[in-house]
Structure 1
């Protein structure tokens, strides 16, 4: 996908705005039947969460986004903290608290990934890019961890990830990877925010 195609894709979507406190939530319905939710901080204008609706759950049914409680149980989280369901104490299958957990956030100038529950020292981690898959590859020298991270922001601008745009630190059992946004990505975000700020009377708005 190119910059122009992505901008046209979201520009032509049906958008509904939900306002809740200091958060503005935009629900997109696209012509190809896909759906997306974005959450913006009203004060900073920074995107805090982006989620895509899963095609169906294990029962073959859709679960609607609940704009009142922010439930994303049946959504794929592209950006932001993952909201996990609460498990009953008698439930037998539960995600362990010691498994590595990857989260992603953005600032004005950077994309940042945090991988929690990684206790290995910083010299253990090897960071490479896979141009064929347009991804960032993380592995450890002790072969205990491997992760491939795709960067949709770069793909939407038809850009490849660059090693020299990345820096890593390790603290409190968390590996933090920071990627400096290319100018085109920042331009795309600014244009998107301006478009959302200029929503016309044809868009639907709900006060939460």
Structure 2
């Protein structure tokens, strides 16, 4: 997608904004029927969460999927079902965005730092490999995909501490400019009264 297409998609979307829990929450209803909610910190103006409403093949509502921020707590996490959910020791990926970088955190990776390699791939992903062949993961980068960019190796750095691999991708100038345009747009939206907008709970 060309950068201007993504911005235009958001400009043309029906938008509703509320201020809640110290965040500016903006609901986008796109012309193609897709729905997205973004949450911006009122202190830093940085995006802290982005979620998309998923539809099934038959058009049924599949709930909200988190692209950026901590995943939604599963409703089924109670005493009756806790014994059959996925192991809490499995690697878990979460995404964050800072003013200058995109970040991925992969928890439950206990191998030492020198085992990991993190590479920008021609298919547009960032790929994590371990020399001991114990972990391999391709990670898509929607922020770059949407504006027609591929990842560059020199923008990648990573650290490993407390069994967590943290990968940082320094934002390219084009992404910074588009993020500024989008924030300028959402910051000017009239804020609705709490309850007038359908946003997923945090």
Q: Same fold (TM over 0.5)?
A: yes
1:36-75 to structure 2, matched below 5 A, reads: 36-56=36-56, 61-62=60-61, 74-75=63-64
Q: Which residue of 2 aligns with 1:68?
A: none
Q: Which residue of 2 aligns with 1:136?
A: 126
Tell me the distance in 2 between the aligned counterparts of 1:5 and 1:117: 38
Given the alignment, which residue of 151, 156, 170 partners 1:166?
156
Q: Is 1:108 the equivalent of 2:99?
A: yes
Tell me the distance in 2 between the aligned counterparts of 1:107 and 1:136: 18
1:187-202 to structure 2, matched below 5 A, reads: 187-199=177-189
Gaps of 5+ in 1: 64-73
Higher alpha-carbon deviation: 112-121 or 138-147: 138-147
Gaps of 5+ in 2: 196-202
Q: Is 1:76 the equivalent of 2:75?
A: no
Any idea what SS the aligned residue of 1:207 has? coil
Residue 24 of structure 1: CA displacement? 1.2
Residue 61 of structure 1: CA displacement? 3.8
Tell me the distance in 2 between the aligned counterparts of 1:44 and 1:166: 24
Contact 2:116 2:128 in 1 (8 A): yes
Give the length in aligned residue pairs: 193
Tell me the distance in 2 between the aligned counterparts of 1:88 and 1:182: 43
Contact 1:2 1:155 in 2 (8 A): no
Q: When the two structures are superposed, what TM-score results if normalisation uses the length of structure 1?
A: 0.87
Q: Is 1:186 the equivalent of 2:165?
A: no
Residue 60 of structure 1: CA displacement? 7.0
Q: When the two structures are superposed, what TM-score results if normalisation uses the length of structure 2?
A: 0.89
